[in-house]
Amino acid sequence: MVVPLTVSIMLACHVSHDPAEVVGIKVWVSVAAKEERAFLLDAGMIEKLADDWIVTDRGKAWIERLLATPFPVAKWTFPDD
């Protein structure tokens, strides 16, 4: 299951070559963030090239899918009488 931190890391890598600055250095160096980066690396979503974090084509496809997801619509319903 993908957690919000995973999405944050992906988006940070997407918008910056220094994603630690985007999410905050304390978050970036945390154990949880290191685990999520390892997960994303293993899944082929990001790559580390020298000092840059790059989103792969697969990662870009996932981001595009996330961004294309419409907001949910709340509908009020009444229970059957």
Total domains present in the chain: 1
Q: Residue 60: inside a domain, yes or no? A: yes
Residue 80 lies in a domain: no
Overall average pLDDT of the 67-77 stretch? 85
Question: Would you say residue 64 lies in a domain?
Answer: yes
Cβ atoms of residues 10 and 62 within 8 Å: yes
Give per-residue pLDDT as tens, 32-59.
999 999 999 999 999 999 889 999 999 9
Q: Is residue 76 part of a domain?
A: no
**HEC sequence for the chain:** CCCHHHHHHHHHHHHCCCHHHHHCHHHHCCHHHHHHHHHHHHCCCEEEECCEEEECHHHHHHHHHHHHCCCCCCCCCCCCC
Does residue 33 lie in a domain region?
A: yes
**Within-domain flag for 42:** yes
Task: Give the pTM.
Answer: 0.85
CATH of the domain at 14: 1.10.10
Q: Which residues pair with 49 in a beta bridge?
A: 52
The pLDDT value given to residue 81: 58
- Domain limits at 24? 4-68
